[in-house]
């Protein structure tokens, strides 16, 4: 796989660390746990979308865009990171925020909403009436075109055949790192929402004949809905990269039992997991993505899915700024 032929802006000047989690490993008494620290990426708070934006912003600039449009939930890490990348490139940025839980958008809120305002979003369009974010973005884009501007629309999560290349690149990075560490991974876990991170890792490992199983933990939808989305995006990525062999049957593994009450609504076990990582490894998870993903991994360990001594890597996709919007829920004991 030759990623060098794709236009790319470099926001990842270094390989994010892969760290062993000794305290959590001891506390759970299961496999050896490692973490890929994509929460340390650039972007006014870091997170996985930075990797996708390297390719998406390069495409936007190649098309002569002067304004970036994207969408997400009220506390969207993707929107914050897209805005951050636009600032770096000297572009305007407008955001479409979907109020998926009624009454959750407040202009004076903390977390990512505060950072979006601080970074200087040109406009924030809030949807609370059930309209599709993609439709609203197109309406905004059409208005900008009438003004003589050149908008570029990035889909939610940056999850298309351009953005997904970021996690194909991450899979290559993981293989490079683990080779030099002498670390043979038995399994990888990551969040699965808009599917770009998960599909990119699957295709990246598959294209390198790495044969490392990857499990995606759903943060929003049922497996029956997510799996076809992953398969479709993985197929587009494989075609873009010239990978002729399809993903083997059974390669897509999605756990959908950790969504809790719904997207952005943490279950009590998720909150416990966020506290556990903070108090054993001093690592911050968020209750929307990484907390639910780690919750799923920990539950699988407690169910005996992994043997002692196996090597399991958790891909930390970031999101800690959203923690400040969940202070009461996260600190409440019992």
Place 96 in a pLDDT band, splitting at 50, 70 and 90. very high
Residues 295 and 171 reside in one and the same domain: yes
Residues of the domain holding 139: 64-149
Q: Last residue of a domain, which of 114, 149, 184?
A: 149
pLDDT number for residue 294: 98
Flag whether pLDDT at 95 surpasses 70.
yes
Q: Same structural domain for residues 124 and 172?
A: no
Domain match, 144 and 183 both:
no
Mean pLDDT along residues 193-217: 97
CA nearest neighbour of 218 among 251, 252, 184, 248: 252
Q: Which pLDDT band holds residue 47 (cuts at 50, 70, 90)?
A: very high
Residue 6 forms part of a structural domain: no
Which of 103, 124, 149 marks a domain boundary? 149
Q: Are residues 82 and 186 in the same domain?
A: no
Does one domain contain both 170 and 143? Answer: no
Residue 306: other Cβ atoms inside 10 A: 19
What number is the average pLDDT over the span 246-268?
93
Decide if 80 is inside a domain. yes
> Within this chain, do residues 143 and 165 fall inside the same structural domain, yes or no?
no
264 counts as catalytic = no
Which CATH number fits the domain that encloses residue 264?
3.40.50.1100
- Cβ atoms 286, 320 nearer than 8 A: yes
Q: Are 71 and 219 in the same domain? A: no
Per-chain mean pLDDT for the chain:
95
| Residue 204 included in any domain | yes
Q: Is the pLDDT of residue 93 over 90?
A: yes
Query: Is residue 241 in some structural domain?
Result: yes
Same domain, 192 and 264: yes
Are 102 and 39 found together in one domain?
no
Q: Mean pLDDT, to the nearest integer, of 292-298?
A: 98
* Same domain assignment for residues 132 and 97: yes
- Is there a domain that residue 7 lies in? no
User: 76 and 32, same structural domain?
Assistant: no
- pLDDT over threshold 90, residue 76: yes
Please enumerate in sequence order all residues whose Cβ is within 8 A of that of 328, keeping only pairs 6 or more positions apart, or say none: none
51 in any annotated domain: no
Q: Is pLDDT of 13 > 90?
A: no
Q: Is residue 287 part of a domain?
A: yes
Q: Is 334's pLDDT higher than 80?
A: no
Per cent of the chain over pLDDT 70 is 100
Answer yes or no: is 4 within a domain: no
30 and 127 part of one domain: no
Among 283, 226, 282, residue whose Cα is nearest residue 259: 226
Residue 103's pLDDT is 81
The pLDDT of 183-206, averaged and rounded, is 98
Question: In whole angstroms, what is the distance from residue 173 CA to residue 188 CA?
Answer: 14
**Alpha helix positions (H), the chain:** 22-28, 49-62, 77-89, 111-119, 133-146, 165-181, 196-207, 223-241, 268-281, 290-302, 327-331
| Total of domains in the chain | 2
DSSP state of 196: H
Last residue of a domain, one of 100, 125, 149: 149
User: What pLDDT score was predicted for residue 1?
Assistant: 78
129-184 pLDDT, tens digit each = 989 999 999 999 999 999 999 999 999 999 999 999 999 999 999 999 999 999 99
Q: Which of 76, 84, 159, 194 is catalytic?
A: 76
């Amino acid at each position: 796989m030759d990623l060098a032929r794709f236009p790319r802006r470099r926001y990842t000047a270094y390989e994010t660390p892969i760290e062993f989690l000794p305290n959590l490993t001891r506390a759970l008494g299961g496999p050896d746990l490692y973490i890929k620290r994509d929460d340390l990426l650039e972007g006014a708070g870091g997170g996985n979308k930075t990797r996708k934006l390297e390719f998406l912003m390069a495409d936007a600039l190649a098309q002569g865009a002067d304004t970036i449009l994207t969408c997400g939930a009220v506390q969207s890490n993707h929107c914050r990171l897209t805005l951050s990348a636009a600032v770096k490139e000297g572009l305007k940025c407008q955001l479409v925020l979907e109020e998926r839980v009624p009454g959750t958008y407040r202009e004076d809120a903390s977390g990512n909403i505060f950072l979006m305002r601080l970074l200087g979003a040109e406009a924030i369009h809030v949807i609370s009436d059930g309209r599709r974010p993609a439709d609203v973005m197109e309406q905004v884009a059409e208005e900008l075109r009438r003004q003589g501007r050149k908008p570029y629309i990035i889909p939610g999560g940056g999850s298309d055949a351009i953005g997904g290349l970021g996690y194909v690149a991450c899979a290559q990075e993981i293989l490079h790192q683990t080779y030099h560490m002498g670390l043979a991974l038995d399994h990888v876990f990551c969040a699965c929402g808009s599917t770009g991170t998960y599909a990119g890792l699957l295709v990246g490992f598959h294209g390198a004949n790495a044969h490392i199983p990857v499990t995606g933990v759903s943060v929003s939808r049922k497996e029956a809905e997510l799996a076809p989305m992953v398969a479709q995006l993985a197929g587009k990525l494989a075609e873009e990269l010239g990978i002729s062999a399809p993903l083997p049957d059974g390669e897509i593994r999605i756990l959908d039992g950790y969504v809790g009450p719904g997207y952005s609504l943490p279950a009590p076990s998720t909150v416990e997991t966020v506290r556990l990582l903070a108090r054993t490894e001093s690592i911050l998870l968020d209750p929307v993505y990484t907390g639910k993903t780690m919750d799923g991994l920990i539950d699988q360990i407690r169910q005996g899915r992994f043997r002692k001594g196996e090597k399991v890597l958790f891909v930390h996709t970031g999101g800690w700024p959203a923690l400040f919007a969940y202070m009461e829920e996260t600190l409440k004991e019992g």
